[in-house]
Amino acid sequence: MNDVEFWKLYLHEHSHSGTRWLHAIGTLSSWVLFFSALYFGYWWLVLLVPVVGFGMAWSAHVFIERNRPLSMRYPFRSLFADYRLTFRVLLFRPLECDPDDGTQTARPQ
């Protein structure tokens, strides 16, 4: 499966806006926790970063989408797709078509 196919699958598995927002909140919370732990020197808080990030995302899959998270099958791909989703949600960018991923059709000459 190439990146374009995976992104389409990822969007299909994250079709509800509530799921997308919970993913974004979980991702941002995990980043804040990570950098706060580094800044303040509480290294043990770094252990909670995946709990916070995955906790929000997986709860969205259980209670909103009612599907199995892709991170079970594709852990690294889904992590990077989650970052991409988070940036697009926060910037209010459309998720269905991305000019950089080849999903748009070429303009006729």
How do residues 2-25 score in pLDDT, each as one tens digit? Answer: 988 999 999 999 989 899 999 999
Reference 6, options 103, 99, 88, 87; nearest CA is 103
Q: What is the pLDDT of residue 103?
A: 47
The predicted-structure confidence for 29-82, as pLDDT tens digits, reads as follows 999 999 999 999 999 999 999 999 999 999 999 999 999 999 889 999 999 999
Q: d(Cα 74, Cα 92) in Å, to the nearest integer?
A: 26
Angstrom distance (rounded) from CA 91 to CA 109: 31
Q: Is the pLDDT of residue 105 over 70?
A: no
Report the pLDDT value the prediction gives residue 32, as an integer from 0 to 100.
96
Question: Which residues have C-beta within 8 Å of that of residue 50, sequence separation ≥ 6?
Answer: 30
Q: What gap in Å lies between CA 28 and CA 37, rounded to an integer?
A: 14
Q: Give the chain's mean pLDDT.
A: 86
CA distance 27 to 73: 19
pLDDT of residue 94: 77
What pLDDT does residue 93 have? 83
pTM: 0.79
Instruction: Provide the pLDDT for residue 96.
Output: 67
pLDDT score at 99: 42
